[in-house]
Amino acid sequence: METPKERIRLQKFLSQAEICSRRAAEKLIAEGAVTVNGRAAELGQSVVPGEDDVRLNGKKISLEPRSRIVLMMNKPRGCVCTNLDPHDARTVFELIPPEYAAHKLFCVGRLDKDSEGLLLITNDGDLANRIIHPSSDILKRYEVTLNRDFDPALAPRLLKGAKLKNENGEDEFLRFANVIRFPDPRKLEIHLKQGRKREIRRLLELFGFFVKSLVRFQIGGLILKKMPPGDCRKLSRKEIDSIFASGGNASATRSRLKKPNRAALRGEKASARKLSVHKKISPREALREREAEKRRERAKEKARRIREAERERAAENTPPTKEISGKKPRERAENPWRTSLRPHRKNARTRNYASRRRK
């Protein structure tokens, strides 16, 4: 039993045949330039490739099998991500290799004219939708340089997001997935999981920052490495699959920007590594530690006794106080131990006994 062939929309059929984009195909259908099986086509109509006769201005269009093309480019500053610019600006399609110029290619997500970095160009619409759609949870990482020092207290507000108006006057909610600070207070690493137009610049401008440079260096698990600005090459199957590997997010160790020391972010020196409190020691080491502790206690006690003896000697050699405000100084009794008796420990019994012997 033969399986029924898949039906696709007419505008997608024209796009896959590399005639025009889907939006341009809708205009051609509305103008009556497209016919299906001899009848004028309608918007939303579906066709079966290989069975239905589709013609554009009388010329038959067939959907030939084609190979998927996915290019990776290090977009330079000053180029726009569009196939045709009315202002005659330089486009990224002028930089692709000549062997791919005849194919109908488009950008997977865009970078504005002043931004640079990793850009994907393909002819596979399904692949582009998988990468762009937020449900894929693919992370994009950017290196941003600001015009002034960044205030760390603003990081939670950037993660929380804000609602702004777009060019059409519609409300858009902009937010960052993560903000990482670096020792340079003007540099940030920003993570996004959605693709709003000029999202990073608009949200930072809301808090009073101007973006001097913006470089995208990672999409999912694909990282921009060793490619000069303007260079473009085709991705392998393994590299395409790496975009979606582990949710499309590469580990921190593979990131081009190394994670800084937390103490350096606070402007402090990195402290020495602390040993665990529950460190296991051998019985011999424990005995050595106890003996060392006893030696330290004996040294402290000896130093304390020396200080007390010095204070006693200083008190004995203190001169008599002068008379103040008419009062006579207190007379000191003669110390019998300095004149007649040998010095030994002073106590009440010995002192009384010595005084009786003198008498």
For residue 108, report the phi and psi dihedrals to the nearest 5 degrees. Answer: -95, 95
Q: What is the DSSP string of 139-188?
A: -EEEEEEESSPPPGGGHHHHHH-EEEE-TTS-EEEE--SEEEE-SSTTEE
The residue from 52, 53, 112, 124 that is catalytic is 112
CB 144 within 8 A of CB 211: yes
* Closest-CA residue to 244 (of 223, 222, 265): 222
Q: What is the DSSP string of 276-322?
A: PTT----HHHHHHHHHHHHHHHHHHHHHHHHHHHHHHHHHHTPPPPP
Distance CA 348, CA 337 (A): 13
Q: Is 112 a catalytic residue?
A: yes
Distance CA 216, CA 191 (A): 10
Q: Which residue has the tokens 């040993």?
A: 275
What 3-state class would DSSP assign to 108? strand
Active-site amino acid positions: 112
